[in-house]
Amino acid sequence: MLARIRKSAEQKDSGFTLIELLVVMIIIGILAAIAIPAFLSQKNKAKSTAAKSDVAAIGKEISSFYVDETVGGLAVTGSAGTWSFNATPAVTGKLSDGNVASGTITSASNWCVTVRNASVDTSAPTAGATGAATWSYDETDGLIKGACPAATPPTP
């Protein structure tokens, strides 16, 4: 019996104890609880930035269109990854994934376009509403957080 005890004392058992494994698992759980919400927040922020970029591109395209043209009464539509406004010839472009574009163009001095990310802002924006990923661009204010104002008075 003493020989067995002496032999087990000489041969050091290697490996982790149950307590050590539980401590490591708890630490990993705490780190995951901190990291996952931060990751999701960054994901929504990236979608908002994509909507902001898309609306700025559309607004600049409309502005440059009116450098050469004077027609009004156009509409901006966007779905399935593209946007367009019904000028002659039609002006089109690409939207980032999940973005939806809409807007009205009554004249070179009275237009507004809104882009929102439908997966972040699930309900359609109302006039002036600010969503996490809803941006507008108009002829007077440029880039605006939220939807187009309710009524843009015509400029004389």
Cα angle 138, 115, 86; round to 5? 70
Query: Is 54 domain-assigned?
Result: yes
Query: Is 153 domain-assigned?
Result: no
Closest alpha carbon to 101 in 64, 61, 71: 61
Exposure string (b/e) for 13-41, b if CB count within 10 Å is 16 or more?
Answer: eeeeeeeeeeeeeeeeeeeeeeeeeeeee
| Structural domain of 39 | 17-145
Would you say 54 and 92 are in contact if contact means Cβ atoms under 8 Å apart? no
Please give the average per-residue pLDDT across 62-77, as a whole number: 74
Number of domains in the chain: 1
DSSP letters spanning 52-75: HHHHHHHHHHHHHHHHH-----EE
Query: Is 119 domain-assigned?
Result: yes
Work out the pLDDT band at 43, boundaries 50, 70, 90. confident
When the pLDDT of each residue in the chain is averaged and rounded to a whole number, the result is 80
Query: Is 154 domain-assigned?
Result: no
pLDDT digits (tens, 9 = 90+) for 100-125: 888 888 877 888 888 888 888 776 66
User: Whole-model pTM?
Assistant: 0.67
